[in-house]
Amino acid sequence: MTIDSDPIPVTLRWAVRLLWAEAAVVGLIAVWLVWADLTATRTDLLAALLVTVFAIGAAVALWALGRALLRRQAGARAPAIVLQLMLLPIGWFMIQAGLGWLGVPLMALGLGVAWLLICPPTTRALGFE
């Protein structure tokens, strides 16, 4: 096993920070969903649980991908990029629903983190060059 003593590039550090920030926000949404599931007077239980479990899974995935990228595990880059690109249709539908103030920044976040993950310093740090 080789220990890489090169410093982690700024682009990779910011990508990890933003992935962890996304994980924290999605985690807070998951907490709210659990509360909503427990206090709802009337609900479709299966649908409510599926949405809640999906949110918890997304938060865990974002956090784990950030950790893996911080450890320079190259295999974590593609799933992280896919999750970021998933923000594009979400943001687009928010814009269509009149929530442009939230949709546009969400799309910019997804594109920004994806760019941080494919830019040359990150690519070199993950051993793709």
pLDDT tens digit string along 41-64?
888 889 999 999 999 999 999 999
Helices (H), the chain: 10-39, 45-70, 77-85, 87-96, 100-118, 120-125
Q: Given a cut of 60, is residue 81 above it in pLDDT?
A: yes
Q: For the CA atoms of 94, 89, 111, 12, what is the dihedral angle to 10 degrees?
A: 110
What pLDDT does 43 receive? 80
Expressed in angstroms, the distance from the first to the final Cα of the chain is 19
* Domain residue limits, the chain: 10-124
Instruction: State pTM to two decimals.
Output: 0.90
d(Cα 108, Cα 87) in Å, to the nearest integer?
Answer: 9
* Tokens (6 digits) for 75: 């295999």
Mean pLDDT calculated for residue range 83-108: 97
